[in-house]
Structure formats: C-alpha cells, structure tokens
Amino acid sequence: MADFQVIVGDEDGDTYSFEVDGQDANRFIGRSIGETVDGDAVGLTGYEVEITGGSDQSGRPMHGQVSGSGTTKILSTGGVGFEPTVDGERKRITVRGAEVSEETRQINAKIAARGEDSIEELLGGDDEDE
C-alpha cells in the first residue's frame, strides 16, 4: 500500500505537510504533474490541489517531460534535478517520470481551487479565541 507525504503550497507562501495513506493515497496513484486531485485526500474539504512535482524514495525528482513513472537518464542543461554552475554546462541525471506511482514518497502540490472554509479552520489551527 502506498503512503505519501504531500506538501501543499498556498499563494501567500505558506506550506502545509500531510501524511497520506490508504484510500486517500490511491487518489494520487496514476495522476501526472499538472493534474488536479480532490482536496479531501489531504483533509482540505472543498479544495482542489494540483500536482506540481515530487520525488521517490531515493530523492530522484519527478520530471514533467518524462512520461510514465519509471526512472530514466536524461541530458539536462538545467531545470528539475540540475542547476548548472557555468554557462553551457550539461549533465546526465537520473529522474523519475511525471506519473505518481508506488515508488513516489513525496508529492509537491499547490492549491488550484479554494473552498469556503480557510485552511486554518479545516486543520483545527483556529486557537486564537482561547
């Protein structure tokens, strides 16, 4: 059974981390970078989250231009998984495909559609009244 750590970013720069397993994790299996998932999977009722990336158990990043969920070696001039230090530098790196699979351990996402309640209310962080 798959289990993921889902990191959800908000427009204002806040990030929220969720541990997802079981049936909720199955909602992510087979989805690719750029697709949306119902926010109920991470406890954000009424929200939608868009998958923006992730990594596997070895830390290999998901690459949006590689189809499938397997690993492959690509020659990169920069971007996901490699940041060149000099102009013209290229490097062969191993990346994972854009599809979420059982080997995925972390999923990065952003809020694509907001619900009626605030995230703090949904997470029970509204303790300012006490």
Domain boundaries, the chain: 3-123
> Given its phi and psi angles, is residue 124 left (phi above 0), alpha (psi -120 to 50 degrees) or beta?
left
Pairing of strands 104-113, 3-9: parallel
Angstrom distance (rounded) from CA 117 to CA 100: 28
Its pTM surpasses 0.85: yes
Residue 129's pLDDT is what?
42
Report the pLDDT value the prediction gives residue 125, as an integer from 0 to 100: 62
Q: Comparing C-alpha atoms, which of 54, 65, 60, 42 is closest to residue 111?
A: 42
Q: Which of 50, 25, 26 is nearest to 37 (CA)?
A: 50
Of 37, 36, 2, the closest CA to residue 19 belongs to 2
Q: Can you give the pLDDT at residue 118? A: 85
Residue 130 CB neighbours (<10 A): 4
**pLDDT string in tens for the chain (130-residue length):** 688 999 999 988 999 999 999 999 999 999 999 999 999 999 898 999 999 999 999 999 999 999 999 999 999 999 998 999 999 999 999 999 999 999 999 999 999 999 888 888 888 764 444 3
